[in-house]
Amino acid sequence: MNINVYQKQSTDGKQAELLFIGYYENSEPKGECFKELDAHLEGQLSSLLKEDAGIGKKKTVTVVPLFNKAPHKKVVFVGLGKVEKATIKGLNQAIGAAVKQADKLGLATAAVCLESFTHDTYTSNEVAHALTESIVLASHTFENYKTDKKDTKGLEEVSILVCSEDVEEVEAGVQTGLAFAKGTCLARDLVNTPGNLMTPTKLAEQAVNIAETYGMEYSILEREEMEKLGMGALLAVAQGSAQPPKMIVLKYQGKETWDDVLAFVGKGLTFDTGGISLKPAASMHEMKMDMGGSAAVLGAMEVIGQLKPECNILAVIPSSENMPGSKALKPGDVITSLSGKTIEVRNTDAEGRLILADGITYAKQLGANYIVDLATLTGAIIIALGHTTTGAVTNDEDFMIDVLESSHEAGELVWRLPNFDEYLELVKSSDVADLNNAPGRPAGSITAGLFLGEFAEDTPWVHLDIAGTAWTGKSSELSQQGGTGVMVRTLSVLADRHAEKK
């Protein structure tokens, strides 16, 4: 999809089949686009809005045919709700709903009257970012493997019409929105790819492609190198699979010196059977999404590569499969992690925290000063927070606030869980090792997070459990069924905030 900015001079400026106009309840649409078109139609649009009060309700999409009486075939009124309750997230959802509806019309070109979507609390840059990001995310589809492809024609070219002098600000917002959307769509595609086509080796290839595209340093550790370094936790999970494990590292250096490093550590479990502690068969096919943490990290590195913030970012992805082979890890086994800490394996389906333990330790060895780990870690987080909110555990209040503010700006919901010492005692409940990888169902998301905190130690760290948010069973305004690409935008905002602070 091509998205371009045009400074609109007249109704005859940039023509398109569709014209999107934002409409707040009980108020005339802002901007010259509506006024000119309404005058051209002798006030018929104004009359329609007065007669139908429901057109402005949040996420309501109203398509009005113009019957060849105007430069556009149809006007799409996008309901933005009450002015006093307006948010950027609401704007995202509203334009997403409109784009989904527009795609059903089979028209290729659209224009967006930017001023009609503005609000006193938004900058033109923010509105352009939100519009662009939402248009791309709502239009994105995963190319499946069916041989009988349906020829679905959607929007191909979108023009952002600007009537003010803020063209440069709008263009900058469009470029940021495109970058955020591209990174999120990449993460979705990675998550949606079947496990036989998205192995640790294939995941590493994706990482190398990003690094080479944007001039980042990278390294891919193979099994032999991991053995020499002592990555016993990752290797233990991988030993039941015929697929070789990978420790994937990307370095983006936006400063002259490699210091003040913000690290993203993503769980790259490309398929999870549960190992010897086998999962139920009914929904096991969805476990191709268990590398959602790594997908979010790679999506964020895609965004960072495009926008080039002035900060240092380290991406570390421990990757393997979890299979019940003859060499597989067994319940009751004791393994030694890269940190030297020993772990009793009570449940082989609690494998994500094992590979992340070595990933977090390795990130520290590579100079990480701040760590965010992301993982589809526990089913317990779905019981606690459902499929709308990501759970968080931390050891540092200031860093946690930074992550929460980033998630709010990105429009992604995060909720902090407690980290009381009583929960940590459960993690240390093994009689034969330093740590117990599965101390029981109560507070399962908290104990899983605190297990990882034992490897972050004193390094400021936030754990994000995306088991409930990385995958959706139904489509929404901004996504289809399947991978959501969650946390790509939060990480990207966090990187930008990190650059601004230094």
Catalytic residues: 279, 353
CA–CA separation, 20 vs 472, rounded Å? 28
Check the annotation: does 120 bind a ligand.
no
Q: Which two tokens stand for residue 183?
A: 């990174």
Check the annotation: does 52 bind a ligand.
no
Torsion angle of the four alpha carbons 491, 496, 497, 499, in this order, in degrees rounded to the nearest 10: 130
- Give Cα 5 distance to the centre of its chain: 26
If 0-12 CB within 10 Å is exposed, 13-18 middle and 19+ buried, where does residue 333 land? middle
Check the annotation: does 398 bind a ligand.
no
CA–CA separation, 214 vs 301, rounded Å? 9
- Count of CA atoms in the C-beta half-sphere (13 A) of 95: 31
Check the annotation: does 267 bind a ligand.
yes
From the CA atom positions of the chain, what is the Rg in Å?
A: 24
CA–CA separation, 453 vs 386, rounded Å? 23
Check the annotation: does 458 bind a ligand.
no
- Count of CA atoms in the C-beta half-sphere (13 A) of 90: 22
The answer to whether residues 228 and 347 touch, using CB atoms and an 8 Å cutoff, is: no
Query: CA 17, 19, 22: angle at the middle one, nearest 5?
Result: 160
Q: Which two tokens stand for residue 152?
A: 């679905």
* Sequential DSSP letters for 286-317: GGGGGGHHHHHHHHHHHHHHHH--SSEEEEEE
- Provide the annotated binding site: 267, 272, 290, 349, 351
- Provide the annotated binding site for Mn(2+): 267, 272, 290, 349, 351
